[in-house]
Structure 1
Amino acid sequence: MFEQNRKNFIDKMKPNTVALFYSGKTIIKSADQTFPFEVNRNFYYLTGINQPNVILLLTKNAHHCQTFLFLEESDPQKVLWDGDLLSFSAASQMAKIALTNVKKIQFFHSFLFQMINPLRNSANFDIDGFYFDLSRQNQAQQANSWALTFCQKLLSSYPFLKIYNSSLFFMSLRQAKSVYEVNNIKKAISINCQALHKVITSLKPLMYENQITAIFHGFLEANQTKPSFDSITASGKNALILHYNRNNSQLMPNELLLIDAGVTYNHYSSDITRCYPISGVFTTLQKQIYNLVLKANKEIIAWVKPEHTFTQLNHYGKTILAKGLKELGLLEDVANIDQYCYHGLGHHLGLDIHDVCNYSDIIGENSVITVEPGLYFKQFNIGIRIEDNLLITKDGAINLSHQIPKEITEIQALMK
């Protein structure tokens, strides 16, 4: 898959250009402690390698294209503390790059200089420009800052070079998912389903949100995976906060628990939201609002097509919610629906939770998206969101998370 991904990227490159990608580096937390490493997702998309301080170099001219990989050699002393790094042969096999083109990272600058310098050019073509991954989303992995810094240094020495932003290509490249990618997302959803089953069968009044979070995360740890984002475990009024993550309140009887949580599997993510009655049974008002959100969820899933946009999806879903609230007597003017549903109703899903795609474009066939209508009432301390993950086909959508219970009868039966 990764070799094909590189081919697709190279096809978009201009002739006589070079593209550079950096995997990122470990980020210092404090003193000698570091945050867990997160690979730059565009780099991973092109290589399948999950290791700090690795550089991918792609070249293209009118006659041929080349791929090079630069990585650290294993240090016997570091191995004693941190474990071994990928060998050159393992990296070659993983990324499907010729072993002769896998080189020591300390030679990267001299290698690149030989390519750029007309008097010492071993690439047999004149380089007109460079592609750098300058996407805003990559700042957390420091790959963006590496690209920006290196780009500035390059221009200071070679001002004639043209600079292109390669991140724009990934909006289309990563939109349609391959079978490999969909299978990884399905696996993440399967683990997500099992973890939520643990949650719903453990849920009792007077527990704490952090205990629920621990149940979910503990199941993931036992299955050698991890959350795809900071889990939202929000009871009562906390569910009004879309990205609530304090997760420290006590679960009060007759309130609802909203849990928005995902799983990452081979760097591909699930993103599921469910709402459960803490006492095991929905109140009349909770049931009315929940059923309306569920109606919107199911009708969007039945309606969405690859030619639709997220703007159309949002309008379609919020129209259902507004009409339903007016029928319930909870909304006078349907134009004011944003008071009770103040977020978009879906997004692309993949290597990133909010995957890097062009959201003004059509959703597109083979995309994986979320559908997540919600309603929030401060006066009732009620926040309800129901989120599923869909594979968009040429005819409509397949709900990849259909196995995760969301009908009121199913939920209440599991909580008896």
Structure 2
Amino acid sequence: MRDFHIGNRSRLASRLPRKSFALVLSGKAPRATADEFYPFKPDRNFYYLTGLKRENFFVLLVKDESEVEEMLFIEEPQPDIEKWVGRRMTRDEAVAVSGIPVVFYERELKTILNKVIHEKALKTAFFDLERLTFEEPQNQIHSLVSEFREKYPHIQIESLHYPLRDLRVKKQGIELEQIRGAVALTRLGIDEILRNLRPGLYEYQMEALFNYVIMNNGAEGNAFKTIVASGPNGVILHYVENQRRMKKNELVLLDLGARFEGYNADVSRTFPVGGTFTPRQRELYELVLKVQEEVLQIMKKGTLFSELNLKAVEVFTRELLATGLIEKPEEVSKYYYHGVGHYLGLDTHDIGARDIPLEPGMVITLEPGVYVSEEAIGIRIEDDILITEEGPVVLTRDIPKEIHEIEAIMKNQ
């Protein structure tokens, strides 16, 4: 993996202008309450560039003319603190993982950054300035940039989000291996749910079963909080309470995934709690499956990402009109109210532009769904799709989704 991260830094540096630097932080776990902190997850861009998963680390790339210097800043060893929270990474360990030979302690960052800015007369600074919403509170990098702007008003500040987004959207071979590993673990968990699903159990029991299976087989953890949405809960896209007792003749919608070596799977399946689909459930399930199949046919090199959801809306409109569930096309959003897919990788909702043509190496979820609240029916079928020169490859094809497969497995529980 070290060569992978070295290559990523090289590709990023090639996109930086002369007389510039890029600074990326690993991040810091926020405080939850009292002296308890949320579990730490490294900034995915930092991991992509270094392979390191520790808090309060920084990577600095400095580009003078064409030459690029790489520096890593790590936490300084503190034996007393390490007795409580564990041993900190040494310089040699950080070099071995990242391939960055020059390592300082993070307390030296501002001094060294000031030095290189003046010695090399740097003109542009790149920071990852991505914000999901205007109201999103400032994080560690935003605070650092505010301080930097005050002290170095002559330096132009640019966002590193866009060049990193364009790099990460196309997956390399090692990344595809990790995603396939996450998919394999996810399949094990779903298979176990299928073998144990029955009326009278609680949603949280299926969640616990899935979590146990993937962790017992080598997953780092969940790609995201598992959704087990039975009956009326199935129409809530991000239902995560998982507290309801499941009943016969209901459906349960699962949206889940394992994380393996930093990369995620994201799969949705909808199963009959009692082992058999009712005629109405079967009709709507086949409708969703048809939408998925038709969208899959256009997931080819050159198709615009935005065209995928347009196709999904087109097919949903046609099929829902045919069933009589809607009477006019503009009513489709009552029963289908999300996008049909997103990029997948280090983040479950991975970064990538939404107005570009599909290219080989992209991994995209395909997840049409129909949600009929008046009938307490929610159905979503989600697969992970790799775009190749030859066409789309369904990475999750071995996870059962055809009605006859599902019912056969549940019949032989």
TM-score normalized by the length of structure 2: 0.95
Q: Is the 8 A contact 2:385 2:394 kept in 1?
A: yes
Q: Is the 8 A contact 1:37 1:52 kept in 2?
A: yes
Cα displacement (A) at 1:302: 2.8
Match for residue 307 of structure 1? 302
**What secondary structure does 2:183 align onto?**
helix
Distance 1:33 1:145 in 2: 19
Distance 1:324 1:152 in 2: 52
Q: Is the 8 A contact 2:20 2:123 kept in 1?
A: yes
Distance 2:41 2:252 in 1: 30
**What secondary structure does 2:14 align onto?**
helix
How many residue pairs end up in the alignment? 406
Distance 1:385 1:148 in 2: 37
Match for residue 383 of structure 1? 378
* AA at the equivalent of 1:154: F
Cα displacement (A) at 1:378: 1.3
Match for residue 156 of structure 2? 162
Among the aligned pairs, what percent are the same residue? 33
- Provide the aligned C-alpha RMSD in A: 1.7
Match for residue 177 of structure 2? 183
Match for residue 111 of structure 1? 112
Cα displacement (A) at 1:138: 11
Distance 1:50 1:88 in 2: 14
Q: Is the 8 A contact 1:310 1:347 kept in 2?
A: no
Give the alignment of 1:128-147 within 5 angstroms.
128-136=123-131, 145-147=139-141
Runs of 4+ in 1 over 6 A off after TM superposition: none
Match for residue 29 of structure 1? 32
For residue 88 of structure 1, the aligned residue among 88, 91, 100 is 91
For residue 319 of structure 2, the aligned residue among 321, 324, 333 is 324
Cα displacement (A) at 1:79: 2.5
Note if 1:53 corresponds to 2:61: no
Note if 1:412 corresponds to 2:407: yes
**What secondary structure does 2:84 align onto?**
helix
* AA at the equivalent of 2:264: S
Cα displacement (A) at 1:135: 1.0
Q: Is the 8 A contact 1:301 1:399 kept in 2?
A: no
Distance 1:55 1:250 in 2: 47
Q: Is the 8 A contact 2:31 2:37 kept in 1?
A: yes
Cα displacement (A) at 1:270: 0.5
Structure 2: runs of 5 or more not aligned:
none
Cα displacement (A) at 1:24: 0.4
Match for residue 296 of structure 1? 291
* AA at the equivalent of 2:292: N
Cα displacement (A) at 1:154: 1.7
Structure 1: runs of 5 or more not aligned:
none
Match for residue 199 of structure 2? 205
Distance 1:314 1:369 in 2: 12
Cα displacement (A) at 1:332: 2.0
* AA at the equivalent of 2:92: S
Match for residue 227 of structure 1? 222
Match for residue 251 of structure 1? 246
Distance 1:285 1:52 in 2: 51
Distance 2:371 2:364 in 1: 22
Match for residue 73 of structure 1? 76
Q: Is the 8 A contact 2:188 2:214 kept in 1?
A: no
For residue 356 of structure 1, the aligned residue among 351, 354, 357 is 351
Distance 2:239 2:410 in 1: 24
Q: Is the 8 A contact 2:199 2:247 kept in 1?
A: yes
* AA at the equivalent of 1:103: F
Distance 2:89 2:386 in 1: 34
Q: Is the 8 A contact 1:24 1:39 kept in 2?
A: yes
Q: Is the 8 A contact 1:310 1:346 kept in 2?
A: no
Q: Is the 8 A contact 1:348 1:354 kept in 2?
A: yes
* AA at the equivalent of 2:78: D
Cα displacement (A) at 1:311: 2.1
**What secondary structure does 2:46 align onto?**
helix
Cα displacement (A) at 1:206: 1.3
Note if 1:270 corresponds to 2:265: yes
**What secondary structure does 1:415 align onto?**
helix
User: Can you list the C-alpha shifts for 1:47-78, whole angstroms capped at 9, x where unaligned?
Assistant: 11000000100000214111000001322223
Distance 1:7 1:137 in 2: 27
User: Can you list the C-alpha shifts for 1:129-163, whole angstroms capped at 9, x where unaligned?
Assistant: 21111112599x99x72222222212212211110
Q: Is the 8 A contact 1:175 1:364 kept in 2?
A: no
Cα displacement (A) at 1:400: 0.2
Distance 1:200 1:136 in 2: 39
Distance 1:63 1:220 in 2: 46
TM-score normalized by the length of structure 1: 0.94
Distance 1:138 1:21 in 2: 21
Distance 2:398 2:132 in 1: 32
Distance 1:338 1:183 in 2: 37
**What secondary structure does 1:49 align onto?**
coil
Cα displacement (A) at 1:338: 1.5
**What secondary structure does 2:297 align onto?**
helix
Q: Is the 8 A contact 2:59 2:72 kept in 1?
A: yes
* AA at the equivalent of 1:399: V
User: Can you list the C-alpha shifts for 1:285-313, whole angstroms capped at 9, x where unaligned?
Assistant: 00000011112212222331121123211
Distance 1:195 1:204 in 2: 16
Distance 2:145 2:393 in 1: 42
Distance 2:84 2:261 in 1: 25
Q: Is the 8 A contact 1:19 1:132 kept in 2?
A: yes
